[in-house]
Structure 1
């Protein structure tokens, strides 16, 4: 890529929506030979041949969901650290599960480098070119569960999140109440001899 912000949308579409030969070509062109790939369900370590492992994952992804609807919502570029943040909405349909379509949102974090790592000549200062050294796909729990629990999975996650929030509220208020009671019992007076409840006054 010569301009990461401008080019990344087209790269993502080639990787996810292009035919197999375009997909393979795009991985060879844009990824380093030792690229890393991190996903909630799989990982390719950043070793020699990592790019070949990424090819296999994208091929299987294409087999499982031949037709993918995808929109790039936003792109942020950390130029200092050569890192792209891409927020994506996509509709994932698995041919093994008829009539099921999973609309999911994720943020893809791409670490870039100017070294392709496979002997290709480095671009000169006037012809900058960037390669993907690491791709990490970040899904909320309520999103990635749609891949494994087609119906009702997101509702279960939201129910769990609600219960966990209630537990936090009860725990926090309960702890504060117990702490206050214990403080009043064991330290009823301040150093000045005032009752503990009057020790701190608003405005003083």
Structure 2
């Protein structure tokens, strides 16, 4: 890929909606041989060469191909859309917001829409330009990480599970409120500490000055340069 942001949607579609041969070709073209994969329900560690009896030498990219093949077996019909893609060239990270309709073959009438965020770690790979013969910077995918909210990941295997998980999340929110109210004195002590101790370290307190509550931690929030939030 020489333009990851524009080229990644067709690659994702080929991996999720394409034939086994197209999946294999896509992985060989755009993934490194030692590519790794992380998913709440599956993981592929990075390795280059491993000899397996009756199969031969394999690498982690081959294992990732098996994962995508099994993914297609579980859901023969997948409808996927890449809603957003952003590439950070400094960190070589490509961020994707994806939604997909996953149709589990064991439950033919159950086809939930699942939302996820995918982070791809890219590495530069030199490629000879067909027209100039000069080296041209391209990117390969070295790692794929799929992130799901808890109420999204249960959609893969638990019809109605979203309501149960959402209930537990709301209960956790109530617990947060209860704990914050009951243990309010802890917050008061923490605030006092920032105003009286950390504030003095940051040089904010002195004769005729009042603590603003930000203290030293507040200074570090702006670009890590030690400037106050007020600019």
TM-score computed with the length of structure 1 as normaliser: 0.81
2:138 paired residue number = 129
Deviation of 1:126 (Å): 5.1
Q: Which runs of 4+ in 1 moved over 6 A?
A: 177-180
Distance in 2, Cα, partners of 1:136 & 1:159: 27
Equivalence for 1:53: 63
Distance 2:4 2:165 in 1: 35
Q: Deviations over 1:115-166 (max 9, x none)?
A: 4xxxxxx32675221110000000000000111212x200011100100000
C-alpha separation in 2, matches of 1:73 and 1:50: 28
| Distance apart, 1:28 and its partner CA | 0.9
Deviations 1:32-71 (A, max 9, x none): 0000000111111011101011000000001111111111
- What is the rounded CA distance, in whole Å, between the counterparts of 1:102 and 1:179 in structure 2? 42
For 1:11-160, what aligned pairs fall within 5 Å after superposition? Answer: 11-48=11-48, 49-115=59-125, 122-123=126-127, 127-150=136-159, 152-160=160-168
Q: How many Å separate the matches in 2 of 1:128 and 1:178?
A: 54
Aligned residues: 175
> 5+ unaligned residues in a row in structure 2: which ranges?
49-58, 129-133, 189-211, 213-231
Instruction: Give the structure-2-normalised TM-score.
Output: 0.72
1:159-193 superposed Cα distances (whole Å, 9 cap, x missing partner): 0010000011011101126988xxxxxxxxxxxxx
**3-state DSSP of counterpart to 1:129:** strand
Q: CA RMSD in A?
A: 1.9
Secondary structure of the corresponding residue to residue 18 of structure 2: coil
